[in-house]
Chain A
């Protein structure tokens, strides 16, 4: 096999020699290669969001949970237990990196053991570590701090229907973070 390759090489070289006497010079050039190495991005939920206990206005209501964890009602709903909790998640990645967190704009909560539903929407955000850009519900531009960390609190609106069936309602919001 080696012999064959060598012979083939000679044949090729002989052909080249007939074309140009400079064919022995190896043509070289530098090809630029660029790459940005990103630190692995980690998204972790620290606190689930809990609207807490609500005694709803019989006519229906919109309950707003702020990113600070404070619940307010547009109508007459009350919060007997004061057990509200804003959602909190953290990001770890490249120092001062720009990241966008995305999620569905609306989540449906379903009554445990039943079929009644409520909608959660109008998510609002606040950064306690890192910086927030102009966030829209479902799209959260975040700049990690100089050490590559961010902590984001989030609230939302809960639409309570008229004569909403009593019970515990739960739902899941899938968060995805990606470098810009």
Chain B
């Protein structure tokens, strides 16, 4: 009897070749994934001083701190101090992205100077509701600003003025 038989070694080779083909086809040779890209465009923001801060006229016989609140109330620490005129807090209007938080940045102090070169220290700058704020639904906001002024015992009379640089930044 003569049967047709496939050699064992040939079967093995075919099996190995099949396995290799299977491995190649199962191996992931490519991969994909999404990358998200985002950006937020803000309305250009603006900050405008509508009313400047004014302590009006002050007088004191001793070293005194005059505090002008954002509500416009003038307080002073000494018993013998006077004020005249109409003290007025600063009023600032801002515009920006609706319902977005922002901050008004400012220096903690500044010096007011007279024409003769004398100085007064302005400090304790206070924003009604704080310097961290939120634009309303129309992208607007308004804030009143107060501050405190230190008069020395021998403070020289005169007209004192100065300025604060306020900047707006989104939070």
A→B interface (CB under 8 Å): 6, 9, 13, 26, 28, 30-31, 33, 35-45, 48-56, 58, 80-81, 87, 89, 91, 103, 107, 109, 118, 120, 154, 156, 158, 160, 164-179
- Cα distance, A44 to B20, chains bound together (Å): 28
- Cα distance, A45 to B20, chains bound together (Å): 31
- Cα distance, A81 to B42, chains bound together (Å): 11
Q: Please give me the residue from chain B that is nearest to A53 by CB atom.
A: B40
Whether A170 pairs with B37 at a CB distance below 8 angstroms is yes
| 27 A–B contacts from the bound complex (CB under 8 Å) | A9-B3, A30-B13, A33-B13, A35-B23, A38-B27, A39-B27, A41-B28, A43-B31, A44-B33, A45-B34, A45-B36, A48-B37, A49-B35, A51-B38, A51-B39, A53-B40, A54-B42, A55-B44, A55-B45, A109-B37, A118-B39, A170-B38, A172-B34, A175-B33, A178-B30, A178-B31, A179-B30
Whether A178 pairs with B29 at a CB distance below 8 angstroms is yes
B90 within 8 A of A: no
Whether B170 pairs with A55 at a CB distance below 8 angstroms is yes
* Inter-chain contacts of B29 with A (CB < 8 A): 38, 41, 178-179
* Inter-chain contacts of B24 with A (CB < 8 A): 35-38
B interface size (C-beta, 8 A): 36
- Cα distance, A75 to B18, chains bound together (Å): 62
Chain B nearest CB, measured from A50 CB (Å):
5
* Inter-chain contacts of A54 with B (CB < 8 A): 39-42
| Given the contacts A48-B38, A174-B34, A9 and B21 also touching, CB distance less than 8 Å | no
- Cα distance, A35 to B27, chains bound together (Å): 12
| Given the contacts A166-B43, A179-B29, A81 and B37 also touching, CB distance less than 8 Å | no
Whether A80 pairs with B38 at a CB distance below 8 angstroms is no
Chain B nearest CB, measured from A103 CB (Å):
8
* Inter-chain contacts of B35 with A (CB < 8 A): 45, 48-49, 87, 89, 103, 154, 172-175
* Inter-chain contacts of A174 with B (CB < 8 A): 32-35
Chain B nearest CB, measured from A100 CB (Å):
10
* Inter-chain contacts of A103 with B (CB < 8 A): 35
